[in-house]
Chains A and B, each alone.
Chain A
Amino acid sequence: MAKLESRKYHIALLFGFFFVIYLSRLFYVQVIANDFFTNRAKTDAVDKVVEFPVRGNIYDRNGIVLVQNEIAYDVMITLRDFEADTLRFCKLLGIDTVEFNHRLGSIKQNRGYSSRVPQVFESLMKSEDFGGIKERLFNYKGISVKKRTVRNYPKAIAAHVLGHVSKVGPRDLKKDAFYIPQDYKGSSGLEQFYEQVLRGKKGWKHYLKNRHGKHISSYLEGALDTFPKPGNNLKTTLDADLQEYGERLMRGKIGAIVALEPSTGEVLAMVNAPTYDPNLLVGGKYGKNYQSLAKDEKKILFPRAIQSRQPPGSIVKTLQSAIALDIGVANEYTSYRCNTNLVGCHNHSSPLTLPQAIQHSCNPYYYHLVNKIFNKGRKGNMAQMRKGMDEWEKYVRSFGFGDPLGIDLHGEKDGNVPDKREYDKIYGRNHWNWSTIYSIAIGQGEFSVTPIQMANLAASIANKGYYFRPHLVTAVGEQKINFENDSSYRNQTLVDSTRFDIVQKGMQWVLEESGGTALRSRLDSITICGKTGTSQNPHGDDHSVFMAFAPRKNPEIAIAVFVENAGGGGGTAAPIASLMIEQYLKGDVERVELEKEMIDKVFYKVE
């Protein structure tokens, strides 16, 4: 018995031993590892629900709304509660059963999918579509609706400039912690460039959810909740009327118009043709519409104004003149004969002075003039030629050629200013001479520029030797952008301001003196200075180019018009530029016949 007696201690010890183990396990779980389990519990039980901020609006220079938001509806489906005659439900939403099943399939693949939690079935239905089916939709069990906002373009202009928003992809999610999978972000134009300020800040609500994902109450009485902060509005430099008018004039044409304010660099209009209704790239129809726009052989989505690189053609004769004057290899009265043996020309009196050469766009004149810039009279000296070319290149680049100008849009192209290295590469070192490369004198060959660079050249000449970096936005929210401290804002060219009177005189004669290449485009009440150009196109008809500014005194607008396959600059580009100037400076166009002629001029089939 005594032996059995001691067994009571064994049992008590064993019991006590387990109790201490349990208490220490509890201490570990609840006190030491408390943070770990609190986090794990929170991940499961607390639902962070996003409140999307309203994206900033975009206005034109006069406060006209270019981009705003409108309500759209996400149709949500809670599969556990969903009861419907599938066929009728599909008909209501305009889909077939194959699509219906496909969507259900992909919904079930969603991260954190639960059959008790509403899932997006149809995203961003526009209110006009939604209104018609609203009543019938709400009759279905398990269908709910979530309000969101989508972009809306009341004037449907400047599609390329304003850009569009699209759903974020895996790369955006990885790169920027701001985004969540339901987000949209600007993916072209101003929407893209100003994404950071337009998108605003998300609000987050924290809910306690139950095992089935249903919310039971707010978490910590909303202590962690934040309100969404709307995005900033953008005030742009665009003139909606001018933009709209430009798009009307460019109907049925392929090309671009860029209009700048010379005194500021503000972009008054940037027309890309062909254009499209930006409202197409909004909401549920985005994917389909984007595909068809992207597939169009006219490259509708291509922002030609900043990306199309073409030889500038004869408009560079203004630049060549200014350089020659500045270097001192010519003066106003320097004359050359129009020797068409050197390079083709058209019928005009000969010889011509410098302004007259601009007026008539005489090719042989510039053959001589630019040759002189390059070799300074020392013919056949290759070393001098190379030196002269370097100097010329510096001059040309100082006008903003060869590099992007730095407009506030992504994807602006640089264009090309040919230099000796390039010719060495093409022909071999010293295996080229003036007769090989003379085409750069008249803006052909390897020389290429973008339409915005053409407009910028006009602005530089209008300002007599400097230009302001072209830009589209002047204020973010209430905050005006301060350009004063920005060293890249004002750009001084290498040409002295005194040289430009002669160039401007020639440009005025282009429109006003008999034999000028753009006589039809003159405007009685306003002095326009312009220069035509023909951009040689090895693949088809030449492109029509024209650049201009007006009025000559205190210029208010500098413009470049580029129309593909429209032949000489005087025929199409110049009248369009002239009409744009009239529209901008007078607010109205009196030359209705010219206007009609230009609008009716189409280069592809227009619906």
Chain B
Amino acid sequence: MNKQRGNILLNVDWVIIGIYLTLCLLGVLNIYAADFNPAHSDFFDLGHRSGKQALWIGASLIIALGIMAFEGKFFRAMSPFIYALVSLLLFVVIFIARDVKGAKAWIDLGPFKLQPAEFAKFATALFLSAYLGSITRNKKSEVASIEDIGRNFSRFIRGKKVFSLSDTDVYGQVFPLAIILLPMFLILGQDDTGSALVFSSFFFVFYREGVIGRVFIVGLLAIVLAILTLMFDKHVAFTALGVLAVIVYASFIKRTNMALITIGSVVLFLIFMGVFDWSASFNTYVLWGWISINVIVIISVPELWKRIERGVIVGSLVVALGYVGFIEQAYNVLQPHQKERIEIILGKKHDKTVSFQTDQALNAIGSGGFLGKGYLEGTHTKGKWVPEQSTDYIFCTVGEEWGFFGTSFVILLFVALIFRLLQKAEKQRSKMSRIYGYSVASILFFHLLVNIGMTLQIMPVIGIPLPFMSYGGSSLFGFTALLFMFVKFDAQRLDVL
């Protein structure tokens, strides 16, 4: 053990750390541009956001080193206490925080404003993976008693496998759900809807770990389809269904076929969704094209014939198509004011100032072109047209000043990071480390999806930061802790936690 600890620097994943540092650096550079004032252009001036962010990065590295200095076991043991402490903070904040931009999420600590919600992701991920990691399953169903809980808890702290329970009971499903719902509701109590929604990213983890079954997936799918139908168009929902169907087929068949079908489906979907502006008749063609492809795939791939699932897939596809049509019809019979409320909830309709702001965000990105306008040359950025540009809308600065080159670079960095996390997670020997890895990847993915989607007007306006890049100490500290905890686990992956 001691020998391993000595080699910890050799065992850390430098790819993850390298991407992390690059993103932090890009972040502070773009914060400097977003907050640029030619009259006071000192980069490291602590009166400026770039100067402060540089300071936060320094502090984050200390946090990272601190995490690396402890044993993974220590954090595992501490996880319930960290979780409890953060939950308490979240609760307290509701009562002591001042109202800032509609949310009561910040604790005033003199020069630094602490946002506990940013640490709640880390605390929840840690506790959830420690908890799920310690469960072992058997067929025998037991009723949990208070004594059980107390006994098991003390074993949990000592790092022993404790729960010999089935995966359909309180321990296997209700507790994990409660672990993510508690901070989620506390954050909702702070009127910080964006941060609360982030906790829904744990459902990816639940899915991977089998905490939630197919029924849940079907329910989730129903909600997503309803939102897609109402937000965009039933054709978008149909297309999404088609993609999903292909993914499902793919899971039944050989890898090579899977790759081909996936690539084909993604390309078709892109033609439809992103690259071209759609017209109604074009949509219809694509839709029928989709349905045909699905039919052809089912008929032409022999593996599918051997499966009973085939019927289930086709049947559920038909049901889903009907469902999407039903949602649209049901929506159409609503009263205009009811429709309007739904549209506002979905972020489809804003009051004028909000849509002006999101339009400006898109103008900034769109006017960047392929190579951008150049660093510190963004006219929209300099004109402060985009609100919150150093925080939630930092991606606009990248888009305007660095163009498609910059935005795709940032996205690819995140893609590399997230896939590296998924890959590393799957390599973990310890169940806890794997779950934790999935948690980190899912949280980052959710942030990326919502934050960038918001600037691109394909997501409703939900104010959450872009990880590692948005201005803000709490968020950077939270993500650093989140990420480096995994780096630590990964460095110790040979240990069984």
> How far, in whole Å, are A404 and B317 apart by their CA atoms in the complex?
84
CB < 8 Å neighbour of A41 from B207, B210, B270, B367: B367
The reply to whether A28 and B275 contact each other, CB–CB distance below 8 Å, is yes
- A427 interfacial contact with B, CB 8 Å: no
| 23 A-B residue pairings within 8 Å (CB atoms) | A4-B208, A9-B251, A13-B262, A15-B418, A15-B419, A16-B415, A17-B247, A18-B449, A22-B453, A22-B456, A23-B408, A24-B270, A27-B404, A30-B366, A30-B399, A31-B369, A31-B404, A34-B366, A36-B366, A41-B379, A45-B379, A210-B383, A216-B382
The reply to whether A34 and B379 contact each other, CB–CB distance below 8 Å, is no
Total residues of chain A contacting the partner, CB 8 A: 47
Instruction: Produce 1/0 per residue, A1-28, CB < 8 A to B.
Output: 0011011111111111111111111111
The reply to whether B365 and A29 contact each other, CB–CB distance below 8 Å, is yes
The reply to whether A21 and B366 contact each other, CB–CB distance below 8 Å, is no
The reply to whether B250 and A29 contact each other, CB–CB distance below 8 Å, is no
> How far, in whole Å, are A432 and B399 apart by their CA atoms in the complex?
89
Mark out the residues of chain A between 199 and 230 whose CB falls within 8 Å of any chain B CB in the assembled complex: 208-211, 216-217, 219
> How far, in whole Å, are A16 and B452 apart by their CA atoms in the complex?
15
- B362 interfacial contact with A, CB 8 Å: yes
**Shortest CB–CB separation between residue A46 and chain B, in angstroms?**
7
Name the A residues within 8 Å of B438 (CB-CB).
11
- A422 interfacial contact with B, CB 8 Å: no
CB < 8 Å neighbour of B207 from A10, A15, A30, A219: A10
- B364 interfacial contact with A, CB 8 Å: yes
CB < 8 Å neighbour of A15 from B210, B383, B445, B452: B445
- B368 interfacial contact with A, CB 8 Å: yes
Name the B residues within 8 Å of A38 (CB-CB).
366-367, 369
- A604 interfacial contact with B, CB 8 Å: no
What 8 new A-B contacts, CB under 8 Å, besides A20-B266, A37-B362, A44-B385? A8-B422, A10-B207, A11-B438, A25-B273, A26-B407, A34-B368, A208-B379, A211-B387
* CB-CB under 8 A for A208 and B382, given A4-B209, A11-B207, A24-B275: yes
The reply to whether A30 and B404 contact each other, CB–CB distance below 8 Å, is yes
> How far, in whole Å, are A26 and B404 apart by their CA atoms in the complex?
7
* CB-CB under 8 A for A11 and B273, given A41-B363, A41-B367: no
Mark out the residues of chain B between 215 and 271 whose CB falls within 8 Å of any chain A CB in the assembled complex: 243, 247, 250-251, 262, 266, 269-270
Name the B residues within 8 Å of A211 (CB-CB).
360, 383-385, 387
Name the A residues within 8 Å of B207 (CB-CB).
7, 10-11
The reply to whether A4 and B210 contact each other, CB–CB distance below 8 Å, is yes
Mark out the residues of chain A between 29 and 56 whose CB falls within 8 Å of any chain B CB in the assembled complex: 29-34, 36-38, 40-42, 44-46
The reply to whether A216 and B366 contact each other, CB–CB distance below 8 Å, is no
Mark out the residues of chain B between 401 and 427 whose CB falls within 8 Å of any chain A CB in the assembled complex: 403-404, 407-408, 411, 415, 418-419, 422, 426
Q: Is the contact region of chain A dominated by helix, strand, or loop, or is it mixed? A: helix
> How far, in whole Å, are A22 and B362 apart by their CA atoms in the complex?
14
**Shortest CB–CB separation between residue B344 and chain A, in angstroms?**
23
* CB-CB under 8 A for A30 and B403, given A38-B369, A44-B360: yes
Instruction: Produce 1/0 per residue, B364-394, CB < 8 A to A.
Output: 1111111000000001101111010000000
The reply to whether A29 and B275 contact each other, CB–CB distance below 8 Å, is no
Closest to A220 in B: B379
* CB-CB under 8 A for A30 and B365, given A210-B383, A210-B384: yes
Mark out the residues of chain B between 27 and 79 whose CB falls within 8 Å of any chain A CB in the assembled complex: 38
**Shortest CB–CB separation between residue A373 and chain B, in angstroms?**
80
* CB-CB under 8 A for A45 and B380, given A4-B209, A18-B449, A27-B274: yes
CB < 8 Å neighbour of B204 from A11, A217, A219: A11
Name the B residues within 8 Å of A7 (CB-CB).
207-208, 210
Going nearest first, the 3 A-B pairs with the smallest beta carbon separation are A37-B366, A24-B274, A41-B367
The reply to whether B383 and A11 contact each other, CB–CB distance below 8 Å, is no
* CB-CB under 8 A for A30 and B369, given A21-B270, A25-B274, A45-B379: yes
* CB-CB under 8 A for A21 and B411, given A11-B422, A14-B247: no
CB < 8 Å neighbour of B411 from A10, A22, A28, A42: A22
- B458 interfacial contact with A, CB 8 Å: yes
Closest to A43 in B: B363
CB < 8 Å neighbour of B379 from A19, A31, A36, A219: A219
